[in-house]
């Protein structure tokens, strides 16, 4: 009796962790000439900036029709938020106030605001090079723009000069 309860408890603990797990980024790629669509998928974590010592293994697969491209994407951490100056404001008011009986009372006021700028969106740039296997291999070269959540877009060109756009 204790063993099934223990397994049930372990399953509950593991299930509670699953919302935190994120699958690999996926998206779509479209031929701008004929509208043919395909899919693109990245190895999880491959859309983060890499350190100089990271090995460059294949980390992306692109499927367009019956062609499968495999290659690597590299993201460069070029985007760092530039601090903006604070927005300061101060105001002075002087005037008169009248009550309902015709009496006048001098009044004054001072007010001020300090606002910090809204957080800036940070995006990174990179590239992707992928090719098909076989004797008549084809190559795709792409430029990418990626945010910190590994969502982004890009433009690609194949070796025949056909242009593709992608989003993920």
Average pLDDT for runs of 10 along the chain of length 168 = 52 50 80 96 87 73 96 79 56 66 68 61 89 92 92 95 96
Among the listed residues 69, 63, 68, the one whose alpha carbon sits nearest the alpha carbon of residue 37:
63
The full DSSP string for 67-98 is: EEEEEEEEEE----PPPPPPEEEEEEEEEEEE
| Predicted local distance difference test score (pLDDT) of residue 76 | 85
The three state secondary structure string of 117-145 is CCCCCCEEEEEEEEECCCCCCCEEEEEEE
Whether 153 and 147 have beta carbons less than 8 Å apart is answered as: no
Quote the pTM value: 0.62
End-to-end Cα distance, the chain: 48
| Predicted local distance difference test score (pLDDT) of residue 130 | 97
| Predicted local distance difference test score (pLDDT) of residue 53 | 54
Among the listed residues 126, 124, 121, the one whose alpha carbon sits nearest the alpha carbon of residue 81:
121
Domain ranges of the chain: 16-81+120-167
């Amino acid at each position: 009796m204790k063993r099934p309860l223990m397994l049930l408890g372990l399953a509950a603990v593991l299930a509670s962790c699953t919302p935190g797990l994120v699958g690999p980024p996926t998206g779509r790629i479209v031929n701008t000439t004929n509208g043919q669509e395909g899919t693109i998928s990245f190895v999880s974590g491959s859309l983060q900036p890499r350190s100089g010592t990271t090995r460059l293994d294949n980390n992306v697969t692109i499927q367009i029709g019956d062609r499968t491209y495999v290659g690597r994407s590299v993201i460069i951490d070029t985007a760092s938020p530039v601090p903006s100056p604070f927005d300061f404001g101060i105001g002075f008011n002087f005037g008169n106030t009248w009550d309902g009986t015709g009496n006048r009372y001098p009044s004054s006021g001072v007010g001020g605001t300090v606002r910090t700028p809204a957080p800036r969106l940070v995006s990174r740039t990179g590239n992707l090079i992928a090719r098909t296997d076989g004797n008549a291999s084809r190559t795709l070269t792409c430029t990418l723009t990626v945010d910190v959540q590994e969502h982004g877009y890009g433009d690609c060109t194949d070796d025949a000069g056909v242009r593709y756009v992608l989003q993920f």
